[in-house]
């Protein structure tokens, strides 16, 4: 996984809670000089360690909801991205770790507990997907701040 980011270092991490339920712990790795305001043009890895079980379908649907929350996505494109996410995201149980690696200009690759799940080769998808956590308009600004705590200004 982190072989895709050989000079990556842990920048920060935090826990997502929704209505008091603990959902996952998130950690962010990036290379030297990472700047959150230009995350879309930089390689990074985001790991989610699940604290409860979820169906892959539900994770995929929530991802699209969050991507659309940040900016409009056409119905056709949302369906394409949802199908791609369904293809790579499995059901998870407590303790499972999904890592996504952003490959600027290429797309995103995903791993479950260190084993490859697949890749979505769409740079626009990858920018919007990682924007769920890193874009200024994220629905979880506290988690965003915790993830990028070790980044430069």
Q: Domain for residue 33, yes or no?
A: yes
Please report whether residue 56 resides in a domain.
Answer: yes
20 versus 58: the higher-pLDDT residue is 58
Kindly state the tokens that stand for 103.
Answer: 């490959």
* pLDDT 10s digits, 115-150: 999 999 999 999 999 999 999 999 999 999 999 998
| Full residue range of the structural domain in which residue 109 is found | 2-147
Q: Is the pLDDT confidence value at 2 over 60?
A: no
Q: At 77, which CATH number?
A: 3.50.70.10
Query: Which spans in 1-153 are helix H?
Result: 56-70, 75-88, 123-134, 141-147
Take residue 123 and report the two structure tokens written for it. Answer: 């740079």
Tell how strand 115-120 and strand 21-30 pair up. unpaired
3-state secondary structure at position 74? coil
When divided into structural domains, the chain yields a total of 1
* 103 lies in some domain: yes
CB distance 89 to 56 below 8 Å: yes
Is 152 within the bounds of a domain?
A: no
In a domain, residue 39? The reply is yes
Is residue 139 a part of any domain in this protein?
yes
pLDDT at 4: 66
Q: pTM of this prediction?
A: 0.94
């Amino acid at each position: 996984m982190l072989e895709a980011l050989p000079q990556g270092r842990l920048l920060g991490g935090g826990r997502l809670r929704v209505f008091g339920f603990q959902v996952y712990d998130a950690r962010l790795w990036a290379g030297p000089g990472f700047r959150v305001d230009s995350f879309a043009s930089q390689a990074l890895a985001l790991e989610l360690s699940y604290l409860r079980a979820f169906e892959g379908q539900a994770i995929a649907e929530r991802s699209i909801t969050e991507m659309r929350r940040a900016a409009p996505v056409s119905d056709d494109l949302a369906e394409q991205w949802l199908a791609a996410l369904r293809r790579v995201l499995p059901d998870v149980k407590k303790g499972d770790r999904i890592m996504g690696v952003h490959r600027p200009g290429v797309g995103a690759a995903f791993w479950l507990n260190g084993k490859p799940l697949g890749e979505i080769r769409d740079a626009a998808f990858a920018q919007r997907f990682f924007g769920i956590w890193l874009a200024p308009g994220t629905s979880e600004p506290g988690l965003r701040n915790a993830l990028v705590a070790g980044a430069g200004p």
